[in-house]
Structure 1
């Protein structure tokens, strides 16, 4: 037996006992001759003991867990006890409690009962201490409240609030007087501080958005807030206003960090104010999630600042990855509007992503203005000025024809005013000169009125926002939103509708990824979290600070299909 490097004497004594052989096997049932000795279980148990002695508690837990999954054998109860000890060392007190309770309930006469009960009491005490000290995730929300932006901020905040409600296990329900015929409905509300017996959170005063009253009358209906479930921990929102100027966003974040000690910040909306807000959050080492900012400078070079809305260049890079890995294309040309910053930046991102994926871009064609989208046949026939990844050169028409013939698809990032007209003009021209060539696009290609033309080129595009209205989860959200605000997201402006869903999805992603820990949440947790498929958006950072998850759609048979 190898002596442990450190630890109290009782650990060494226990290890000696567990390793002494069948005569020392715990549990009345296992002291009989009918209990089998399973060779693999014995080997895994010894590996677990060795790992535990070395302080490799995660490995020890895995070995003991595997032993306990075999049918009843001479190491079953010993493995359950030692697994509980390993989990306590890992500070996974809730899991340790589960293992120890299983030991005591399944084998009530085990000779390790006293040891297991003492360890169980220790795990429960530590779990209670953690709950008292770390029962609340504090979410800072900073949004503009000037007249031009207040409706959009309200829509986003309502989405955030409903996500927090849902996590906190709170519900508001209709109570119908006898004889009143109407449809009952429920939704969760952020009413934690006002519910009787709730010790998990207290009223926030002026630093947070006020909670609604417990009981509200709507016509003849009475709406009552109640605690429908008790979560392990609650989330609380702390709100700060921002103005249009960068310094107000920086001050709002500074206040959330210093006065409210928030764990994570959601907002602001626009890139111009998200940039200074992110700089302050980075200095404070508090994760900040910008929900709508698209300028890469918001998160570039930072460790704690994230962008839920993919940056403009990333949209091109993601399309390049999709072309190479999803569509299995080898050669894709690019046609973009040179004077349009968004179109040019997406084209730039596509070329960069193509180089990373070994996807050949045989040609890039810069258009001088929006009218050039409908002049593609003339431009390709008359002009020999094209771009490649390495040079811009004048080529003869035969070379241009050869490059076009070798191109399997064309990426057309369209942006600005009149996008539908630009796309229609481009498709009409491409049908004349390159029939059958596949076309790739961006979010502006979604839900075009001319689906037949788009289907003819199997137009495939990235999309950052997509709501399937027939999903039960979406329908529940719509009902809850209506009960909270009096209207549905569809009754808002286009931007307002999107922000309502974005607020919910971003908050749900944060709540499913982070938890109270007593220290600032590590930004790595956000970068490595599994892709979240929300109501209106996908969120996955894939070790980046900008969202790398987009919906992928295509047109086929005059319908839109979601590929991812």
Structure 2
């Protein structure tokens, strides 16, 4: 009897185990599919269940890794950190532990916790048996240390670690930091310590080789790379003010970049005077500069057109911080627009509504004046190309006081549409449009362009609260710590308050210097890096190019409780 009971229990437990395994495999495969299709929320739910609701199984560690990666993607940094630390803490022998450490480093790097990011990579350097993984960790850790850490921070890690195998690397990095900062005495002491304590290490051999190269006399020194800056500094008053402020932003970005660097970037500033003749003079001068790598400016679309014609025989990238006219990049293969064109803005808003807003049926109300028709047309073409439907399209004349007929047609179509797109030609039209819209009990999203960033006429429009969403090339989060530090440092050096124009110049130059930071052989290689999709996070907007050479980013702003808030920095998919 007892034997029969035992057999029955054994069979039952086996069946339960098999059923659990089938459920686990099905859930895991579904989670992988969701992850590959960027359905991160669904994938995260499944991986969390595998890692936490099931007993320890063959997929626990991989599920924890995916939970960490997805939370990093979603910027849920604390959740990412918690799960990745659990993986490396509870399962140190897992074959996924190296990748977990690399992902942890990214979590900390995203939050600018550079010492923590550096240390997670050091753990890989000291413990991994995979040569390719170790090489990656060495390169990334060195990049972080030389750009963001002090010698004291690296020395502190060296003194506190008990992982002997990583100590030679830490001494090598410490030595390189001292060299960068011209601390010759400390550099010599660190070098002597490295060769005394670790005479057979790879790091000692690398240090000796580098030292020999530094001590070998050069027949010539490399000339400084130069960025040309062309702005209308002495033209009419408004142009002069904007240009001067943009220049201050450019100069501050360059001074930050050059600080502590042996090979500095030079700057050649020339006043265009809004004159084609002056541009021709500048062109002749630029052609004689052997190490000219790029040009920043001009800033106005009309002058950009002249400059692109005049500079046709200069083969370096030319980037305008502010020009917004369409088709400028077609005039010169080396031209880049850091400020998105109007066609780009309309297309980007269509993609945001379709992919993020998830609306498929739209009404469009645009002015027949200014750039409103361009925004409307590019939006409509892109939205329909994506598979959306423009149910109704109405227009009006800017500064008109009567929109009765247009609003009536919108009202009659409310049961057919999911949102309205209203690109303005003038902020002055907001009170009239809001007044008419308020009469039809509107309760769907209203999308628009950056002219909607005005408090005039919105205070009493309760129906727009949390329903008004628009794109803008400029938005600033004043409360962010990074911005406050930047603003304080900028004022300390220039005695100027940060404003919009300053950030146009600063963010554009910061982007350019980010591209130039890595070694490259010439201006053509620089251009190729610019169109490769590298992104630079800016204060006013991010910057990223592809082969179209027009910035793909715009800020997405929402009107909520009487205030404007940033909800996304959205990148156009070309």
Normalising by structure 2, we get a TM-score of 0.61
Of 252, 273, 276 in structure 2, the residue corresponding to residue 162 of structure 1 is 252
Query: Does 2:570 match 1:561?
Result: no
Match of 2:419 in 1: 409
For structure 2, the residue ranges without an aligned partner over 5 or more in a row are 1-92, 97-120, 140-145, 148-167, 174-190, 569-574
Partner SS for 1:378: helix
Partner SS for 1:451: coil
The Cα offsets for residues 514-548 of structure 1, whole Å up to 9 and x where unpaired, read as 23534224223223344333222322235531112
Deviation at 1:403, TM superposition (A): 4.4
- Please say if residues 338 and 551 of structure 2, whose CA atoms lie closer than 8 Å, have aligned partners that are also in contact: yes
- Please say if residues 322 and 337 of structure 2, whose CA atoms lie closer than 8 Å, have aligned partners that are also in contact: yes
Partner SS for 2:391: coil
Normalising by structure 1, we get a TM-score of 0.62
Distance 1:319 1:250, change over 3 A: farther
Partner SS for 2:420: strand
- Please say if residues 299 and 322 of structure 2, whose CA atoms lie closer than 8 Å, have aligned partners that are also in contact: yes
The Cα offsets for residues 308-341 of structure 1, whole Å up to 9 and x where unpaired, read as 1111111111111111112111112211112x13
- Please say if residues 280 and 310 of structure 2, whose CA atoms lie closer than 8 Å, have aligned partners that are also in contact: yes
The CA distance in 2 between the partners of 1:473 and 1:362, in whole Å, is 44
Match of 2:516 in 1: 514
- Please say if residues 431 and 456 of structure 2, whose CA atoms lie closer than 8 Å, have aligned partners that are also in contact: no
Distance 1:118 1:271, change over 3 A: same
Give the length in aligned residue pairs.
405
Partner SS for 1:310: coil
Deviates more, 1:469-478 or 1:160-169: 469-478
Of 226, 236, 247 in structure 2, the residue corresponding to residue 138 of structure 1 is 226
Match of 1:534 in 2: 538
Match of 1:217 in 2: none
Of 444, 447, 453 in structure 1, the residue corresponding to residue 454 of structure 2 is 447
Query: Does 2:353 match 1:353?
Result: no
- Please say if residues 249 and 274 of structure 1, whose CA atoms lie closer than 8 Å, have aligned partners that are also in contact: no
The Cα offsets for residues 162-200 of structure 1, whole Å up to 9 and x where unpaired, read as 11111122xxxxxxxxxxxxxxxxxxxxxxxxxxxxxxx
The CA distance in 1 between the partners of 2:196 and 2:132, in whole Å, is 13
Match of 2:503 in 1: 501
The CA distance in 1 between the partners of 2:286 and 2:507, in whole Å, is 22
Of 295, 315, 318 in structure 2, the residue corresponding to residue 265 of structure 1 is 295
With CA pairs under 8 Å and 6+ residues apart, which has the higher RCO, 1 or 2? Answer: 1
Deviation at 1:436, TM superposition (A): 1.1
Partner SS for 1:470: coil
Deviation at 1:285, TM superposition (A): 2.3
Partner SS for 1:514: helix
Q: Within 5 A, what are the aligned runs for 1:226-375?
A: 230-231=260-261, 233-259=263-289, 261-279=291-309, 283-300=313-330, 302-338=332-368, 340-367=369-396, 369-372=397-400, 374-375=401-402
The CA distance in 1 between the partners of 2:217 and 2:329, in whole Å, is 33
Deviation at 1:361, TM superposition (A): 1.7
Match of 2:471 in 1: 462
Deviation at 1:283, TM superposition (A): 3.9
- Please say if residues 142 and 253 of structure 1, whose CA atoms lie closer than 8 Å, have aligned partners that are also in contact: no
Match of 1:60 in 2: none
The CA distance in 2 between the partners of 1:129 and 1:151, in whole Å, is 49
Deviation at 1:378, TM superposition (A): 2.6
- Please say if residues 246 and 272 of structure 1, whose CA atoms lie closer than 8 Å, have aligned partners that are also in contact: no
More helix by share: 2
Query: Does 2:241 match 1:151?
Result: yes
The Cα offsets for residues 274-315 of structure 1, whole Å up to 9 and x where unpaired, read as 123234556432111111111122213654211111111111
Deviates more, 1:543-552 or 1:465-474: 465-474
The CA distance in 1 between the partners of 2:251 and 2:543, in whole Å, is 19
For structure 1, the residue ranges without an aligned partner over 5 or more in a row are 1-37, 42-65, 88-93, 170-229, 382-396, 490-496
